[in-house]
A = this chain, B = another copy of it.
Amino acid sequence: MLLSKYFLPVLKEEPADAQIASHRLMLRSGMIRQQSTGIYSWLPLGLKVLKNIENIVRFNMDKIGSLEILMPCIQPASLWIESGRFDNYGKEMLKFQDRHDNTLLFGPTNEDMITDIFRKNIQSYKDLPKNLYHIQWKFRDEIRPRFGVMRGREFLMKDAYSFDIDQCSAIKTYNKMYLAYMQTFRDMGMSVIPVIADNGPIGGNLSHEFHILADNGESTIFYDKKFLSLTDEESLDISKLQSLYSVAEEKHDNANCPLSEHDLASHKSIEVGHIFYIGTQYSETMNALVNDSNGKLILVEMSSYGIGISRLVASIIEANHDDKGIIWPKNIAPFMVSILNLNILDRKCNELAQNIYDKLINHKIEVLYDDTAERAGSKFATHDLIGLPYQIIIGSKKAGNNIIELKNRKTGIIEELNIDEALNKLLL
């Protein structure tokens, strides 16, 4: 992508109304723009990140056999009245009437609707277990939306719903999803801590939240310090994980904590995922029954599983930035590398830049080529701000000797290389 053809409205000034780093950086790097309180447009750079995260989530859901569907944004109130939780979200649920005075709502979650889909289409134990997910925009009319897409009103969530024949099978599915969540966040380059949490308005009596540690987090979690030194293998080992103490603040009680002060840690954090073992709450109120192998009608066991996809964009920035800007983990970076042509009037600079640009495209490495007339200082600032993992810097002096600079955004290390050497480094 040529920057001169792109739409990257970076801001040189700090936005006045943004309180936390991720919000400031997303505005400054031209990833998002606010359209109304807590409602954002995603500009090209932001949308690429959002989609990268979405695709990592999708990949991991597909891998464990969850099937993708898509439920609508708008839901009829009747389903929520039937499930008995029409009033549970209070004013956070956006309700309205259509032209025929039917009450509708912009869905904050989909347990009620998925239960309706299940009961109308699945009747036999032979079709269980079943696991369905969708990735759709939700709305919660927060009283005080803040921190950009971290706590917005319209937000993108992946929510999955599982259906099992009995509690034993349901818990097995729950644990499979728990591990899929650990893997999903790892694939984004993030380490998360799973904590025991409250079920809240979703229902059920067992749930885990997945938290990223961050000084600006709105949550606080308490956990065994061993979580910070897990091996790769241990961090995907469910008994290991569930044997370590880790709870959301509302579940922590110092008096009854099994850990010594020395082993216990607490930290501000951001919740990026939440899984709920629900049981039969919805199948009871909404009559979701299946025939078991003896031909007896029984209530189906349910769980639900959410990942906040738009919130993750901000959360990952909270955990990956410095005073110059964002530092994207490779797997979710909007492009892998920037090319900074420092002198577009120099024939040799243009030749080298075009040469490596073409080669990167041929190797399917996503590249943003800054071919604008901006001065060097401004280009350095812009590309540190948008935080692609690598920068290829091409200036007149070294270009004369066919040398470019390859900068690692995270470490700041700069290497002087020829084009083929740089390409080989990026292909590793």
Contacts and interface: CB of A to CB of B under 8 A. Distances in A.
Interface of A: 5-7, 9, 30, 33, 35-37, 39-44, 47, 50, 65, 67-76, 79, 91-92, 94-99, 102, 104, 106, 113, 116-117, 120-122, 130, 132, 137, 139, 141, 143, 153-154
B44 A68 contact: yes
Contacts of A95: 96
A99 B43 contact: no
A48 B219 CA distance: 38
Given A9-B121, A35-B75, A139-B74, A47 B65 contact: no
Contacts of A98: 94, 141, 153
Given A39-B72, A117-B33, A67 B137 contact: no
Contacts of A99: 91-92, 141, 143
B70 A50 contact: yes
B35 A130 contact: no
Contacts of A68: 44, 47
Contacts of A41: 69-72, 113, 117
Stoichiometry, as copies per complex, reads: 2
Contact of A73 (B5, B67, B73, B79): B73
A65 B5 CA distance: 8
B76 A36 contact: yes
Contacts of A73: 73, 106, 137, 139, 154
A13 to B, nearest CB: 14
A253 B102 CA distance: 41
A67 B7 contact: yes
A66 to B, nearest CB: 10
Nearest to A138: B73
Contacts of A121: 7, 9, 30, 33
Nearest to A137: B73
B70 A113 contact: no
A92 B99 CA distance: 8
B154 A74 contact: yes
A19 to B, nearest CB: 20
B72 A137 contact: yes
A364 to B, nearest CB: 15
Nearest to A1: B67
A44 B35 CA distance: 32
Contact of A94 (B6, B96, B141): B96
A28 B33 CA distance: 42
Given A35-B76, A36-B74, 7 more contacts: A7-B121, A7-B122, A7-B130, A9-B121, A36-B75, A36-B104, A41-B72
